[in-house]
Amino acid sequence: MKKVKWAESAGARVVPIRYGSKPVELEAVFNGISGLLLPGGGASLDPRSSQYYKAAAHLLDLAEHANAHGQRFAVFGTCLGWELLAVWASGGNASVLEGGYDDEGRMHSLRLLPRVTPGASSQTMLANADLRRALLEADSTFYSHEFGVLPETVLRNPELKRAFNVLATAKDARAKEFVAMAQAWDGKPFYGVQFHPEKPLFEWTTKANISHADAPITVGRALAAFFNDEVRKSRPGRFAGGEREAFQRDIHAAKLTYLGDAYFSEVYVF
């Protein structure tokens, strides 16, 4: 639910994608949207057995094909979504993920890396000076993960190295480092973060230590605006059934349930 609010806060219209759908249905949804948001959560990313991974990989293949043929299509992955992007970009190699991180429900800062791309374009996630300053402050980003991508894994894996430029890293409670922000090379609009930019804006549960200070709020707002700008630059999505179908598929057609002081205070029920 909070990821929906995060996207909508910057002007997005949200259409849920059911990962149990057949490929033809996934393609019908893909044709109607202009960007793909891969949220955090808990799901297997084993390419051999995970239905969730197979559905997401199919959508990412479609996005890759669209960009390769001049039809810009933006993708943004958070937490599990970034991990999924890393597995997919490495050719379905789940071993690029490192387990055992002690980073459940923690707020901390991250380390921005020197820009690797000569003359880095304005499309970089770090082009916003306010965002850069906020990211460096204490407790600027919220994490809830057991898996992650080691920076050295990006350098060792040829496919992952070709696919993503690491922009920032962070460390868990045991000082174990992981990729915190990454984006695709050559201006392709694929982006990933290990943290949850939506939590400080919209989640007030006592089940996690979420700061609502200026820095994390700035981070959440800036990244929402950035991704939605990228979506608006993307090719316009059109459903076969026009606006009638768009309203039928809209996230608000699903039932919203309030759970109170739970880890997720609001959920959509399908």
Condensed to tens digits (0 to 9), the pLDDT of residues 55-107 reads: 999 999 999 999 999 999 999 999 999 999 999 999 999 999 999 999 999 99
Condensed to tens digits (0 to 9), the pLDDT of residues 29-61 reads: 999 999 999 999 889 999 999 999 999 999 999
Residue 170 sits in which domain range? 2-269
CA–CA distances in Å: residue 150 to residues 94, 124, 166, 172, 179:
13, 21, 10, 12, 6
* Residues classed as catalytic: 79, 196
Q: What is the pLDDT of residue 123?
A: 57
Tell which residue, 95, 22, 90, has the closest CA to residue 58: 22
Between CA 23 and CA 30 the distance in angstroms is 10
Q: Of 53-57, 77-81, 121-125, 198-202, which range is least confident?
A: 121-125
pLDDT at 197 over 80: yes
In sequence order, what are the beta bridge partners of 77?
A: 38, 192
Q: What is the pLDDT of residue 34?
A: 97
pLDDT at 172 over 70: yes
pLDDT at 136 over 90: yes
Q: What is the pLDDT of residue 240?
A: 94
Total domains, the chain: 1
Q: What is the pLDDT of residue 120?
A: 45
pLDDT at 117 over 60: no
* Residue 131: CATH number of its domain: 3.40.50.880
Torsion angle of C-alpha atoms 96, 97, 101, 104, degrees rounded to 10: 150
Hey, what are 263's tokens? 């880890």
pTM of the model: 0.94
